[in-house]
Amino acid sequence: MTSSESHEPGYVSLRSVSKAFGDVYAVNDLDLDIQSGEFFSMLGPSGSGKTTVLRMIAGFETVTSGTVHIDGENITDLAPFDRTVNTVFQDYALFPHMTIQDNVEYGLRTRKVPKDERARQASEAIDRVKLSLVADRLPHQLSGGQRQRIALARALVLRPKVLLLDEPLGALDKQLREEMQVELKTIQREAGITFVFVTHDQEEAMRMSDRIAVFNAGRIEQLGTPHEVYENPATAFVAGFLGISNLLDGEKAMALVGRSELVNIRPERIRLHGAGHKPEKDFSSVEGVVIEVAYTGANTITIIENSAGVRLISTQLNEELPGHKDSFAVGDRVVATWRSSHVATIPH
Ligand code: ATP
């Protein structure tokens, strides 16, 4: 049995899927398997094709070639409303003149669910997103975060096997966004639904996902757990897109790590010490001068440059700085050290 034939509820499978808009391929020969009950994120820069993939799963966009399966059923040619998926958009798309309760009941009404039953199911969904107290209000009487939760309740009440979310938190401010990330994740775990989540925010994807597909120019550069894509990026693009990187190759890599292939050292792996520091066993080191220091609250980011002009970025938790005092200052001579085992080779 091939994976596209799995009949587990909420199993999404794309085979050789391409999408062309005129001459431009937004998605190119994509194979993708999303597991049942998984929180799966598609992460990538603007224009990398992630929304187009989501829209092809939803049925809002036809495929140019390839197939889409859900639970083993070939849904490639089905209309959106015949698919067992629902989509939550960034702009919520609530009906402004209907109460919250009526907004959530709406989809059940179109499915001809009897009145009492749909009231019960809608109340349960509103309860799940913790908004029972405002069920009688109109959408404009809610905050942005509350409207987003209602949009979610409206999708959840239809009990889709797969919920598609297109940058659903994009319109929220940072604090609300972080609260909603936790809530979304909790709701997903409790409901046991497959979530396919589009975002260009790498921290958001890392925080919420079981697995992440990193998109670039219509292709998946790497697919893995947050830990895998961060610690072992398959390409320089992935290393650069997820967090800050120190990418070195050729002579620079040879000088610092003793080999000339493309390597990456994450900034949090690099420790800074005063001039003259002797590295411990299993540590590599380089001497340099501090050229920039940035305080970001929890961390201090320091950039150093050695005599050959090679720059390294180091981030340290302020809590861990010696004596909790200030970091190094611009112009200080320092020794940067890192464990040799923390140098990651980038395969491509
Ligand atoms: P964003 O984060 O900005 O939404 P994305 O990664 O989701 O970006 P897509 O929206 O999937 O990217 O777009 C991928 C490519 O396809 C882009 O080059 C875009 O301009 C193009 N594209 C998307 N929709 C259409 C369309 N309806 N007509 C023509 N080109 C399109």
Question: Is residue 10 within 6 Å of ligand 1 at its C-beta?
Answer: no
Q: Which atom of ligand 1 is nearest to the CA of 19?
A: 16
* pLDDT at residue number 156: 87
Q: What is the mean pLDDT of residues 275-285?
A: 90
Six-digit token string for 273: 């010490």
Domains annotated on the chain, with CATH: 2-241 (3.40.50.300), 267-340 (2.40.50.140)
Q: What is the mean pLDDT of residues 162-169?
A: 91
Q: What is the mean pLDDT of residues 196-213?
A: 95
Tell me which amino acid residue 319 is.
E
Task: Give residue-wise pLDDT tens across range 57-89.
Answer: 999 999 999 999 999 999 999 999 899 888 887
What confidence tier does 320 reach under pLDDT thresholds 50, 70, 90?
confident
Q: What percent of the chain clears pLDDT 70, i.e. is strictly above it?
A: 96
Burial bucket for residue 56 (CB in 10 Å: 0-12, 13-18, 19+): buried
Do 121 and 157 touch, CB atoms closer than 8 A? yes
Calculate helix-pair angle for 174-191, 115-128, nearest 10 degrees. 130
Question: Is residue 52 within 6 Å of ligand 1 at its C-beta?
Answer: yes
Q: What percent of the chain clears pLDDT 90, i.e. is strictly above it?
A: 64
Instruction: Report d(CA 98, CA 102) in Å as an integer.
Output: 6
Q: What is the mean pLDDT of residues 325-336?
A: 86
CA-nearest residue, atom 27 of ligand 1: 21
Helix (H, G, I), strand (E, B) or coil at 298: coil
293 beta partners? 302
* pLDDT at residue number 1: 46
User: Which of these ranges, 51-60, 164-173, 234-243, 323-332, has the smallest mean pLDDT?
Assistant: 323-332
Question: Is residue 44 within 6 Å of ligand 1 at its C-beta?
Answer: yes
State the average pLDDT for the chain: 90
Question: Is residue 337 within 6 Å of ligand 1 at its C-beta?
Answer: no
Instruction: Give residue 52 CA to ligand 1 midpoint distance, Å.
Output: 6
Task: Give residue-wise pLDDT tens across range 109-126.
Answer: 989 999 999 999 999 999
Do 15 and 27 touch, CB atoms closer than 8 A? no
* pLDDT at residue number 84: 87
Residue 164 has pLDDT above 60, yes or no: yes
What pTM was computed for the model?
Answer: 0.88
What confidence tier does 348 reach under pLDDT thresholds 50, 70, 90?
confident
Residue 142 CA neighbour count, 13 Å, CB half: 25
What confidence tier does 322 reach under pLDDT thresholds 50, 70, 90?
low
Q: Which atom of ligand 1 is nearest to the CA of 49?
A: 11
Question: Is residue 37 within 6 Å of ligand 1 at its C-beta?
Answer: no
Question: Is residue 49 within 6 Å of ligand 1 at its C-beta?
Answer: yes
What confidence tier does 179 reach under pLDDT thresholds 50, 70, 90?
confident
Question: Among 48, 89, 201, 237, which is best to mutate for testing ligand 1, by the most ligand atoms less than 8 A from CB?
Answer: 48
